[in-house]
Amino acid sequence: MYDVERKRNGQNVFFIYVDEGASHRLRGRYWHSGLSRPAEFSDMDGLMLSLDRAMNDLKCPESSTAERRFGKRKQPREARGEETALREETSPSRKGEKATFVVQVQYRQHASWQGNVVWAERGERKPFRSVLELIKLIDSALEESGIPEG
């Protein structure tokens, strides 16, 4: 088992706790030391979009490209201020019911992410070069662990 506590306060480290489901239908929570409490997700798309918003809000790591969008550009969000302080009583459980992943995003270049992901239950670490590759790695771990679809 990977020592999750060792990475707990890393600036670019997110913890993904998968509680149920598999592949793109998974459900769980993610946490970062800059968030006041874990954020929930109900599918892979929601997880990745929410993680990207969190990285934008926390400015870690800083994106190398400006976000493009259709329609009018929204005003940037204000910094979270005191809400970003870690409160011990709201820190998450140490693992997901089905799987736990420790994701270290080192760079956000070429409108994607690059870094490393650790499948905590197996202690396996793999680099990823894009969000798509990260999704595939998480999916393969869930498949490998025998978590049934749906």
Contact yes or no for 118/101 (Cβ under 8 A): yes
Report which of residues 92 and 127 the model is more confident about.
127
Q: What is the pLDDT of residues 71-126, one digit of tens each?
A: 876 665 544 443 333 333 344 567 899 999 999 999 999 989 999 999 999 999 99
C-beta atoms surrounding 37 within 10 Å: 14
- Report how far apart, in Å, the C-alpha atoms of 33 and of each of 42, 54, 97, 127 are: 21, 11, 20, 22
> What is the pLDDT, as a whole number, of residue 91?
45
